[in-house]
Amino acid sequence: MDGAALNIEMPTALHSSTRNEFWRARPTLVTGASGFLGGWLVRQLLELDADVICLVRDAVPQSDLMRSGLHQRVKIVRGDLCDGALLERVLGEHEIVTVMHLAAQAIVGVANRNPLSTFETNIRGTWQLLEACRRAPTIKQIVVASSDKAYGAHDTLPYSESAALQGRHPYDVSKSCADLIAQSYAATYGLPVAITRCGNLFGGGDLNWSRLIPGTIRAVVENREPLIRSDGLFVRDYFYVEDAALAYVLLAEQLAARDDLRGQAFNFSLGQPMTVTQVVEAILKITNSDLQPRVLGEASNEIREQYLGADLARRELNWQPQFGFDDGLNRTVEWYRNFLQN
């Protein structure tokens, strides 16, 4: 499915004129703003004239937030997501209305090696934030980033939102727990929170070279053989990051208009599962490379086949992706070529 052939309008909960009115000067907190998706979401919110406040724990000079100069257009708060007093201060002093909670330890290998830091950030950080939001009278919408990994392994594919959250390995468990905690705050306290579960995100700005797509593109640009950590047959969704940022914006807009979305989770994906080998072959084709990948077969504690169905988001949110896989991959390759050759 080529995004250039989709020829569809921007997904909106609001007409374009009222969309800008909705976001204009809206105090919006983004946690994880220095991360991969965070940078794209901040960019989207700034284009809509939101008043963006970013919670950042570590300085990441190579992040898109810093490299692009976006940090000069937002308010930066330095601190840890697990600091409840800090969160209450930020929500109160900046009179936050909308929260986009993206902050997480997002690397599966790191979680396997160091589960405690992953549990601390992904689980404790989520309930600390939601508890602070519960005490803040200005909060109107909260969008929490869960993941396809929250489902754990299921025999029935694609996963629907009704599938049980049954993560088994540290990263998966952390996302299952955070997801359920968000649902509990909506069910018990009426907190205006909704949850996203996205496929594997890809796009420019992801500088974690251990991930498949940036690592493969970097190897090709540097004329090195790409490495496949698994046996190449693992199956996943691959979802372009700009589409993910648009989905977060849309969900916040819909949450403002519909109380029935509180506690709801939505899958966002292309519905186009691919093997690792197919993804690598697509990159080699786009880059006109004759390199051959080396298969390491070293992956462990990972689900073999996992992909999402997004029918609920299409039906309930009137959501559609703007970019097909090929279009998103072309844009991604171009971004990394510019980044690595400059």
- Which of these is catalytic: 151, 159, 171, 185? 171
- Phi/psi at 294 (5° precision): -105, 125
d(CA 296, CA 97) in angstroms, rounded, equals: 47
Give the pair of three-digit tokens for residue 121: 């950030």
Q: Which of 260, 88, 267 is nearest to 195 (CA)?
A: 267
Q: Is 178 helix (H, G, I), strand (E, B) or coil?
A: helix
Contact indicator for 29, 55 with CB cutoff of 8 Å: yes
SS (H, E, C) 16-54: HHHHHHHHCCCEEEEECCCCHHHHHHHHHHHHCCCEEEE
d(CA 174, CA 277) in angstroms, rounded, equals: 28
Contact indicator for 331, 213 with CB cutoff of 8 Å: no
Find tokens 């909705």 and name the residue. Answer: 22
d(CA 308, CA 211) in angstroms, rounded, equals: 20
Q: How far is CA 105 from CA 68, 81, 117, 145, in A?
A: 23, 11, 8, 12
Give the pair of three-digit tokens for residue 333: 């390759």
Give the pair of three-digit tokens for residue 246: 């648009």
Q: How far is CA 257 from CA 118, 141, 182, 253, in A?
A: 34, 10, 19, 7
Question: Residue 334: which residues within 8 A CB-CB, separation 6 or more?
Answer: 204
One-letter amino acid of 192: P
d(CA 74, CA 273) in angstroms, rounded, equals: 36
Judge whether 151 counts as a catalytic residue: no
Residues labelled catalytic: 171
